[in-house]
Structure 1
Amino acid sequence: MRQGGGKRPGPAGPDSAEAPVEAIDPQFGTLTLLLIAAGAVALLLFLIMKLKLHAFISLVLVSVLTAVVVGFPPGDIPDVLMFGFADTIGSVALLVAFGVMLGRLLEVTGGAQTLADTLIGRFGEKRAPLALGVASLLFGFPIFFDAGLVIFVPIILTVARRFGGSVLYYALPAAGAFAAMHAIVPPHPGPVAAANLIGANVGLTLLVGIPVAVVAWYVGVMLVSRFLAGRVDVPVSDVVFGEIQDGEDAEKPGWRQPSFATVLMLLLIPLVLISFNTVLSTLVETGVLAEGQDWVGFLSLIGITPVALLITVLVAILVLGRPNASMATVSKILDQALGPVCAIILITGAGGMFGGVLELSGIGDALSGSLSDLGISLILQAFIIATLLRVAQGSATVALTTTGGLIAGAVGDAGLSDFKLTLLVIAIAAGATVLSHVNDSGFWLVSRLFGMDEKTTLKTWTVIETTLGLTVFAIASLLWLVT
């Protein structure tokens, strides 16, 4: 779920005076561009699933071929490739790195086990997936999808390892909760941008979006995940944290296990800090707070996701690592945590590269032009346009903002109530959620964090995202009809 997409790639080098690369003027019609995109996806799946070529190599290769086929000048192709890659890896690399460091410290010291035991003790074994999902809904309010997922991975894996069975029982409810909050509920950037573009009230979108997201999560994620996990067995992965040690480091047994209050405090640090950035940014954007105030700038800085996670890791070193071992030993543990995630970071970045090539190819603009007057109800039009944009270029945020801008004129002419404007935002978010696949960096993040191959991820995560989006749209449509 690539969160970028609004910026354009910069010049090729630091001393270059060239203008940034913009989206290409389409040389083909909409149908041809869609066929090129479909062919690129098919080729990518063939290389990965049939020929077993490494996903990173396949994604870069198909990105280059797609850029050539759609007609980018050869000299611009390196910048085109870097557009999506740099945008994605710039955010993902730091948060994954800090996230796995925090997770490794929680796992080695037994913090993840403490939290898992507490959750299970209060909710029971059968309700463990529900408990993880509810916790993810709460943490997902201010935290972006990928950051929240990385923070929760050690907890998910610890619970899954304790009870056995498919990791999907625990992973899908949590990941789906973060996805629901990220796409539907302000202050996340996609729904805020869509609301501003069509003139919806952000506060009302928040109030309506939260119950819609919760109900849609339970119906479209929680219930569906039970069905999928019962039919698809995915073992607990050790790709991120290595072999789980039951809260006891193999080289340094007898570490003091932290209390539940200590673990909860560590998890609340990024929640609170990131809230500063997301909430204050929304208040500034909506005009509630004036721009340029120093205190707003400072709180926004420490609330940027990588900075918030950096602060959290530093606190974790002090309260988890140093009471048990020397700084050299703690540093060694953190270093060992980074090695396995290099492939995750690179593959996720390459997924963003592929989505960025499709975005700059003009597919979104061509679709927007051809769908601007569908002659159907606004709420269905909003959902269809967002869905097609999501499928074509991968980024949920881009689909949200592009669709909002596209239908803004028609929405203004319709004279809708504030409530119906909010339902339009929710319908756009629903379309921007469905059918996550190989051009979505979030697809690769989920795939690699939980040790799933591409076919399994399509059969599980893509289905979950689709049932979530369809449920959100069904709720919004029902409310549209009765108001």
Structure 2
Amino acid sequence: MEAIEPAYGAVTLLLIAAAAVAVLLFLIMKVKLHAFVALVLVSVLTALAAGIPVGDIPAALSFGFSNTLGSVALLVGFGVMIGRLLEVTGGAQVLADTLIGRFGEKRAPLALGIAALFFGFPIFFDAGLVVFLPIIMTVARRFGGSLLLYGLPAAGAFAAMHALVPPHPGPVAAAEALGASIGLTLLVGAPVAFLSWYVGAYLVSQVIGRRVYVDVPTALFGELNNGRDTDDVDDDTDATGGGSSRVTTKPRTAPSFATVLGVLLLPFVLISCNTVVNTLITAGVIGEDAAWAQFLTLLGNTSVALLITVIVAVLVLGRREGSMADVSTILDKALGPVCAIILITGSGGMFGGVLRLSGIGDALSGSLSDLGFSLILQAFLISTVLRVAQGSATVALTTTAGLIAATVADADLSNLQLTSLVLAIAAGATVLSHVNDSGFWLVSRFFGMDVKTTLKTWTVLETTLGLSAFVLSLALWSVG
């Protein structure tokens, strides 16, 4: 669905957006209205207030909702299946023990974050986070303290890679729009992502985790007792017909570290194949009609890659010592708790989609472009405004690059300065994640946090991460 011609000026649209966010926070935090209901209600009211024609409002609502669900629902569903199998079979414990054995207890958060940086190279933020959840929670249960000490470094790592490093779609699209080299953006973006993550996410997360205590939630991955899921209770009836309940222990032999690592690496390898093939097609090295290339692209599609990983996990983890019926029960228990997460995330996308279609982002960014700031500061501010206005980091990246492309073409910039602009735009697209961002709701619900706590933790971390990346992009700009 295309953006609708703005019915009001930039100031009025900004006031409407600010009022919508304020009403949403009031409904969720004060009235205690369920987040899904509040998001849908405020989306409808915002569409009306922003002047979207009444007949177009249903399409405007489904635009953001369906787009978000299309990318999130399958990833979350398959991801929690993999996570549940790793948890129940003891695979997550094996991986956690190995990480801690190599890095030590004090460096456990750092180890989780570095592992997430590695896995986050080809994998999108939401897919990477959901696959890593059982490992994060296993480590947090073992050592105690706030879940945020262990969860935020990993989540911040996935966010940094997703925003700053090709082959993720945002930086690739921005680089192409500005005429920057994708190869140079990759070579420069990777160390920038690591440094900005270490300063703006890892160090900040350790401060936040010591000040804000969040217990490990048990809704997605229940408490374990010696490798056996404590939810496994069989109700039997004795020979006399009397009902007697007994807990049947199902001891399992934990899988090897190589098996667990193989399961986690499988989606990484498959998605990497997709990335490599698409890069070669774009470069003209291979033809896009090649059958083998299309097949690898299919296998490397994120949803298909996770589906294949689920099947492999069922065979090498679930079926090792249990029947297929047992495995189906495990997967059923994994899917139930994520329904609310998927719906809330989709409705967050709906709210962001309504703000996007209202034209607020274009109106505000158009106003900023005339203020006479330096090009790199202008790029950062426009991207930040778009991020705050409509929520999506990828949309903020691509839209900002398109808005300043003509100015950049006339500026005769060096290759390093072009790459610096891409990174500055990515930095602006990272800061101030809030209630119109579907990723905000994923982190909130996966970590078991209410909206106020998520604003105090995740929003702060995303902002420090983005500001750290912007400072580094400024340094590169000055030497370019």
| TM bin (shorter chain) | over 0.9
Q: Which residue of the other structure, out of 57, 60, 69, is the alignment partner of 1:89?
A: 69
* Unmatched runs of 5 consecutive residues or more in structure 2: 233-248
Determine if contact 2:299/2:305 at 8 Å carries over to the other structure: yes
Corresponding residue for residue 4 of structure 1 = none
Corresponding residue for residue 237 of structure 2 = none
The AA in structure 1 aligned to 2:328 is: S
When the two structures are aligned, how many residues end up with a matched partner?
463
User: Which range moves more in the overlay, 69-78 or 434-443?
Assistant: 69-78
**CA-CA distance at 1:269 after TM superposition:** 0.3
Corresponding residue for residue 152 of structure 1 = 132
Q: Which residue of the other structure, out of 111, 119, 123, is the alignment partner of 2:103?
A: 123
Corresponding residue for residue 359 of structure 2 = 362
User: Matched residue of 1:93: which SS?
Assistant: helix
Q: Which residue of the other structure, out of 325, 338, 344, is the alignment partner of 1:347?
A: 344
Q: Percent identity?
A: 73
Corresponding residue for residue 15 of structure 1 = none
Q: Distance in 1 between matches of 2:226 and 2:276?
A: 37
**CA-CA distance at 1:74 after TM superposition:** 1.7
- Aligned counterparts, 1:459-478, within 5 A: 459-478=456-475
Corresponding residue for residue 403 of structure 1 = 400
Q: Distance in 1 between matches of 2:283 and 2:390?
A: 28
- Any idea what the Cα deviations from partners look like across 1:183-214, whole Å, max 9, x if unmatched? 00000000000000000000000000000000
Corresponding residue for residue 162 of structure 2 = 182
**CA-CA distance at 1:120 after TM superposition:** 0.4
Q: Which residue of the other structure, out of 269, 273, 284, is the alignment partner of 1:272?
A: 269
**CA-CA distance at 1:286 after TM superposition:** 4.3
Corresponding residue for residue 53 of structure 1 = 33
- Aligned counterparts, 1:26-45, within 5 A: 26-45=6-25
Determine if contact 2:99/2:108 at 8 Å carries over to the other structure: yes
The AA in structure 2 aligned to 1:178 is: F
Larger radius of gyration: 2
Q: Distance in 2 between matches of 1:356 and 1:281?
A: 28
Q: Distance in 2 between matches of 1:131 and 1:454?
A: 28
Q: Which residue of the other structure, out of 145, 150, 153, is the alignment partner of 1:170?
A: 150
In structure 2, the CA distance between the partners of 1:431 and 1:246, relative to structure 1 (3 Å rule), is farther
Q: Distance in 2 between matches of 1:176 and 1:245?
A: 30
- Aligned counterparts, 1:222-371, within 5 A: 222-250=202-230, 251=232, 252-371=249-368
TM-score, length of structure 1 as denominator length:
0.94
- Any idea what the Cα deviations from partners look like across 1:46-97, whole Å, max 9, x if unmatched? 0000000000000000001111111122221111101010000111111111
Q: Which residue of the other structure, out of 364, 367, 380, is the alignment partner of 1:383?
A: 380
TM-score, length of structure 2 as denominator length:
0.95
The AA in structure 2 aligned to 1:173 is: P
Determine if contact 1:107/1:245 at 8 Å carries over to the other structure: no
In structure 2, the CA distance between the partners of 1:465 and 1:188, relative to structure 1 (3 Å rule), is same
Determine if contact 2:96/2:135 at 8 Å carries over to the other structure: yes
- Any idea what the Cα deviations from partners look like across 1:390-437, whole Å, max 9, x if unmatched? 000000000000000011011110100111100000000000000000
Q: Distance in 2 between matches of 1:280 and 1:367?
A: 38
Corresponding residue for residue 192 of structure 2 = 212
2:114 is aligned with 1:134? yes
Q: Distance in 1 between matches of 2:67 and 2:273?
A: 23
2:416 is aligned with 1:419? yes
In structure 2, the CA distance between the partners of 1:183 and 1:479, relative to structure 1 (3 Å rule), is same
- Any idea what the Cα deviations from partners look like across 1:312-338, whole Å, max 9, x if unmatched? 010011011112111011101101111
Superposed CA RMSD = 1.0
Q: Distance in 1 between matches of 2:150 and 2:106?
A: 11
**CA-CA distance at 1:288 after TM superposition:** 4.1
Q: Distance in 2 between matches of 1:386 and 1:78?
A: 28
Determine if contact 2:223/2:229 at 8 Å carries over to the other structure: no
Corresponding residue for residue 108 of structure 1 = 88
Q: Distance in 2 between matches of 1:245 and 1:66?
A: 48
The AA in structure 2 aligned to 1:482 is: V
* Unmatched runs of 5 consecutive residues or more in structure 1: 1-7, 9-21
Q: Distance in 2 between matches of 1:246 and 1:59?
A: 41
The AA in structure 2 aligned to 1:201 is: S
**CA-CA distance at 1:281 after TM superposition:** 2.3
The AA in structure 1 aligned to 2:337 is: P
Q: Distance in 2 between matches of 1:31 and 1:295?
A: 52
The AA in structure 2 aligned to 1:465 is: E
**CA-CA distance at 1:284 after TM superposition:** 2.6
Corresponding residue for residue 244 of structure 2 = none
Q: Distance in 1 between matches of 2:277 and 2:370?
A: 36
The AA in structure 2 aligned to 1:413 is: D
**CA-CA distance at 1:372 after TM superposition:** 2.6
Q: Which residue of the other structure, out of 424, 435, 440, is the alignment partner of 1:438?
A: 435
Determine if contact 2:78/2:307 at 8 Å carries over to the other structure: yes
2:444 is aligned with 1:447? yes
Determine if contact 1:249/1:255 at 8 Å carries over to the other structure: no
The AA in structure 2 aligned to 1:167 is: L
Q: Distance in 1 between matches of 2:428 and 2:142?
A: 36
**CA-CA distance at 1:370 after TM superposition:** 1.5
- Any idea what the Cα deviations from partners look like across 1:209-262, whole Å, max 9, x if unmatched? 000000110000111011100100000011212333442234352112101000
Determine if contact 1:195/1:205 at 8 Å carries over to the other structure: yes
Corresponding residue for residue 14 of structure 1 = none
